[in-house]
Structure 1
Amino acid sequence: MTDTSRATPRAEGRPRAGRPPAATAADDPAAAGQRSREARERLLLTAEQLYAEQGIAAVSLRQICRAAGNGNNNAVQYHFGDERGLFEAIIAHRVPRLDRRRAELLAAARAAGLDQSVRGLVDVLFRPLAEEARRLDSSYVGFLGRFVSAPPDRHPWFAGGEPAGPVGHEVSLAILDRLPQAPAALRGLRLRHVVELCLAALAGFGQLPATSGSEAVAYDLFVTDLFDMAAAALTAASSAVDSPSHGVAENS
């Protein structure tokens, strides 16, 4: 008689002879792709928030991985290549919706004849960002605001061609075309100053200190006044015109 009590048990997890192993979620390419996309988006949104809260230089790629709950300290490099690739991915994630909103505002401005004024174009360019700054699920404006002191080749708004999106780029060029009172070499610089002003102001609205005896400024009023100031700065007369002591180099 065979002693079945001494039979060698089947190894755990070994399939029975002639039967293929059961498929698991890990073997499904579609499921794996979905998990990868979700991990990528978590890293992207976590990075955007950390950069907005702490500043660009204060946040490491490893810190982003930990905060996103990713156990791979090289996950950012895997998904984005490097920090610059991460910046570009954050922009690519946010810009399409912002530019669609700009297209709506530009169409409305054209219908009302407001697209011929610098003030009207400033509204088209920046109002989507003013709206974005109030979204609870976005830190994008704060992220952009952290680049105020960055050189042009590192600033997401200016680097890489058209970071404001095709419509934003079109509106920016239209603004530059409406600054005849400023020397040609200064027009792009003026727009850069205004971009930095508006981004920093919109990002910092929530941190405005309440001073004794002052009334809180409604956000709509804050935005309208900011855009008024931006348009005034762009269209201000230049003291550099016809002033040899304030000459502007053509290649500046």
Structure 2
Amino acid sequence: MSRGETAPAGERATAAQDTRARLIDVAERLFAEYGIEPVSLRQVGIEAGQRNNSAAQYHFGSKEGLISAIIANRSRAVDARRADLVDALRRSDAPPTLGELVNLLVLPLMETIGMSSGRTWYLRFLANVMDHPLAAPWGPVRAAPSGSGAPAGLPDPPDPPGLRYMRKELRRLLPDLPAEEFERRMRWQVMITFRVLADYERHRAGAAPGGGPAPVQVVSDLNEMLVALLRAPYPAA
């Protein structure tokens, strides 16, 4: 291409997509390692090898926009897997149990760790998102009912069908819990899931091959813990 000419539109679009993907991958790692607040958009651009230090600002508008893009990028596979699990429960002759319902939350997230043979960062990223003052109520798992709104600067949280099904069926199985108590336990189960899986992801990254508990054991332990939380008597004795 001679000097002064520009690349065809298709090539420019592909290059922009590649840049976005690189920025998302780098930001996920940095946010997982250092937390949300300390990492700047400029740092993300530099770490991603962009000559323009404002590349992340250009592509995502703000840190909250970048967080949204990371979650949207990962949520596609998670939501699809959760939809498959919901379909299996609906085809069953028996109604879903508490354990099967909390597994809709836990298993698709755990499986993101096994999607790569190398190190992963997504669960640690999600755990750190919970601590961010703007992003904390927002994520791939909504603890509050639809329509509650999101903080300024963020779009409304996603509300995928698999999680709506989980909430509806959990409410059916826990009719005696007051609404406020139900919401608290839903919020806590999300927090526990993110923290436990982030801890597992962190230890898996530094463990020798074959070290630590098997993923199936982690899922089983976590599901049992969440079921116990949901079944806890109210009010407490």
Per the normalisation by structure 2, the TM-score is 0.80
**Do the aligned residues in 2 keep the contact of 1:124 with 1:171 (CA within 8 Å)?**
yes
Q: 1:116 aligns with which of 96, 100, 116?
A: 96
**Do the aligned residues in 1 keep the contact of 2:101 with 2:166 (CA within 8 Å)?**
yes
Aligned counterparts of 1:234 and 1:152: Cα–Cα separation in 2 = 27
Q: For residue 44 of structure 2, what is the aligned residue in structure 1?
A: 64
Gaps of 5+ in 1: 1-20, 244-252
Q: Deviation at 1:114?
A: 5.8
Gaps of 5+ in 2: 143-149
Percent sequence identity over aligned pairs: 32
Aligned counterparts of 1:117 and 1:152: Cα–Cα separation in 2 = 34
Aligned counterparts of 1:220 and 1:74: Cα–Cα separation in 2 = 42
TM-superposition CA deviations, 1:34-89 (whole Å, max 9, x none): 11111011001110111112211221111111111111111111101101111111
Matched letter for residue 235 of structure 2: S
Q: Deviation at 1:163?
A: 2.9
- Residue 198 (structure 1) aligned with residue 193 (structure 2): yes
Q: For residue 186 of structure 1, what is the aligned residue in structure 2?
A: 181
| Distance change >3 Å, CA 115–CA 63, structure 1 → 2 | farther
RMSD of aligned alpha carbons: 2.8
Q: For residue 233 of structure 1, what is the aligned residue in structure 2?
A: 229
Aligned counterparts of 2:95 and 2:50: Cα–Cα separation in 1 = 47
Matched letter for residue 179 of structure 2: A
**Do the aligned residues in 2 keep the contact of 1:115 with 1:121 (CA within 8 Å)?**
no
**Do the aligned residues in 1 keep the contact of 2:123 with 2:201 (CA within 8 Å)?**
no
Aligned counterparts of 1:22 and 1:55: Cα–Cα separation in 2 = 44
Q: 1:145 aligns with which of 124, 127, 140?
A: 127
Q: For residue 132 of structure 1, what is the aligned residue in structure 2?
A: 112
Matched letter for residue 26 of structure 1: T
| Higher RCO (CA < 8 A, seq sep 6+) | 2
Q: For residue 7 of structure 1, what is the aligned residue in structure 2?
A: none
Q: 2:165 aligns with which of 170, 179, 184?
A: 170
Aligned counterparts of 1:92 and 1:165: Cα–Cα separation in 2 = 11
Computing the radius of gyration over CA atoms, which structure comes out larger, 1 or 2? 1
Aligned length: 217
Q: 1:155 aligns with which of 137, 155, 161?
A: 137
